[in-house]
Amino acid sequence: MVTSTFNTTKSEEIFAAAQKLMPGGVSSPVRAFKSVGGQPIVFDRVLGSYVWDVDGNKYIDYVGTWGPAICGHAHPEVIAALKDALDKGTSFGAPCFQENILAEMVIDAVPSIEMVRFVNSGTEACMSVLRLMRAFTGREKIIKFEGCYHGHADMFLVKAGSGVATLGLPDSPGVPKSTTTNTLTAPYNDLEAVKTLFEQHPDQIAGVILEPVVGNAGFIPPDAGFLEGLRLLTQDYGALLVFDEVMTGFRIAYGGAQEKFGVKPDLTTLGKVIGGGLPVGAYGGRKDIMSMVAPAGPMYQAGTLSGNPLAMTAGIKTLELLNKAGTYEYLDKITQKLAQGLLAAAKETGHEACGGSLSAMFGLFFTAGPVHNYEDAKKCDTNKFGRFHRGMLERGVYLAPSQFEAGFTSLAHTEEDIDRTLEIAREVMSRL
């Protein structure tokens, strides 16, 4: 029996005040716990695989600041490198040598990237790569997949996942229809639907963008042949293939999903891990395409804090830590143990569930499944997930506060962390 002494008085007071200061009391919607019930906890500090809230409660963390903390929170080597960098200043607004170092590391690691441009967020990276797709091809239409989230830029808020799915929102108010007219959508893992769109719009589609492994509609891996089929279709129709690896980059393999599955896109977006916990994004790809970007070419994109020395420093140290023998084998081992253990616990306690893992990324759906796309994901029991989430939280496990978000492990998670989590999960599931 796992006992709970859960008290969140200070969190409740802080969140109550926050709601008078910020929309919904948060700076990003999913944090508000709308889909899981109850009020969010307010963090005080983080270290390794753990987080502490302002009331002193300690949690095993499987959110990892939504992906960046793959080495563990506040890794001492990352913190030490940042402290040294801080003495030189926080932002230059000018070139710094750290940009070269991180750019070389990214180019060496990611198969599709020959040149890279640093930005400040995944949203900015995806917004920029969309402009680049259109500039390079001279076409305006793009294909995205239902439930895939590529940031909150207008043109992507069509059947988007992540917080849009979590909150049950329709395509966002404030987005003009004219902006999304050229955004075509298809179900993830449905190659025939993509083929039909190309047949209906020949010579009009600039490219296809997708999360190669969906993490913003829950964890959904690609079916066999799906990524390969997209590669062939885009080549046949003279369109570009873009992998949004903001989430999967350096997480499911050092070279991302494209290394894991052996499919090379034309362009790639990155974020999260490559900033080591600081705000960062990047897009890159073939040299002939990237040469379109100003000042080398005519496609304009800029950013005051892009390539700032702190984000570059944290990213460099994080990639150094990841690029060691056995890193991804360890991540795969502990994450498989967690994912399989959660499914076993659900079965033991009489709940229909499905899910899985890839390296340091995992998911659990309360539905018999299988889940191949967002439509399948929507069939899951979100009310049950909400109760499960709350039960885990009250017993010291912090999961993403949404059924439609993937979970993350880190190098800091231990076998003991996983065993403890599964013990708690069995206890909670027995009470659902």
Euclidean distance between CA atoms 144 and 146, whole angstroms: 7
Residues 193 and 289 in one domain: yes
Q: Residue 15, Cα to own-chain centre: how many angstroms?
A: 25
CB 387 within 8 A of CB 19: no
Q: Longest Cα pair distance anywhere in the chain, in angstroms?
A: 64
Final residue before a domain boundary, out of 301, 322, 343: 322
Could you say which of 304, 322, 340 is where a domain stops? 322
358 & 283 share domain: no
User: What whole-number distance in Å separates Cα of residue 343 and Cα of residue 332?
Assistant: 16
Rounded CA separation 54/43 (Å): 6
Q: Taking each helix axis from N to C terminus, what angle separates 415-429 and 327-348, rounded to the nearest 10 degrees?
A: 20
Domain residues for the domain of 240 are 76-322
Do residues 167 and 293 both lie within one domain?
Answer: yes
* β-bridge mates for residue 161, sequence order: none
| 148 within a domain of the structure (yes/no) | yes
Q: What tokens appear for 149 in the block?
A: 């989230």
Quote the pLDDT of residue 29: 84
Residues 52, 45 contacting (CB under 8 angstroms):
yes
3 lies in a domain? no
Nearest to 16 by CA among 54, 48, 45: 54
Q: Which two tokens stand for residue 319?
A: 């990639």
Angle at CA of residue 246, ends 242 and 249, nearest 5°: 90
For residue 105, give the CATH number of its domain: 3.40.640.10
Tell whether 143 and 191 lie within a shared domain: yes
Domain identity same for 313 and 330:
no
| Residues 244 and 363 reside in one and the same domain | no
Q: Which of 69, 52, 239 lies closest to 139, judged by CA?
A: 239
Q: Assign residue 335 the CATH number of its domain.
A: 3.90.1150.10
Q: Do residues 41 and 91 share a domain?
A: no
Q: What residue type is assigned to position 195 of the chain?
A: K
344 and 239: one domain?
no
pLDDT tens, the chain, 432 aa long = 555 578 999 999 999 999 999 999 999 888 889 889 888 999 999 999 999 999 999 999 999 999 999 999 999 999 999 999 999 999 999 999 999 999 999 999 999 999 999 999 999 999 999 999 999 999 999 999 998 989 887 778 775 544 454 444 446 677 777 777 888 999 999 999 999 999 999 999 999 999 999 999 999 999 999 999 999 999 999 999 999 999 999 999 999 999 999 999 999 999 999 999 999 999 999 999 999 999 999 999 999 999 999 999 999 999 999 999 999 999 999 999 999 999 999 999 999 999 999 999 999 999 999 999 999 999 999 999 999 999 999 999 999 999 999 999 999 999 999 999 999 999 999 999
In a shared domain, residues 91 and 128? yes
Any domain includes 69: no
* Residues involved in catalysis: 149, 244, 272
**Of 271, 290, 322, which closes a domain?**
322
Same domain, yes or no: 347 and 314: no
pLDDT of res. 2: 52
Report the predicted TM-score, pTM, of the whole model to 2 decimal places.
Answer: 0.94
Task: Tell me, yes or no, whether 276 and 370 share the same domain.
Answer: no
Which residue has tokens 């033991």? 348
Is position 97 within any domain? yes
CA atoms within 13 A on the CB side of 17: 6
Task: Give the pLDDT confidence score for residue 37 in this predicted structure.
Answer: 85
Which residues is 283 bridged to in the sheet?
117, 269
* Structural domains in the chain (count): 2
Q: Is residue 100 part of a domain?
A: yes
360, 231: one domain: no
- For 53, phi and psi rounded to 5 degrees? -95, 180
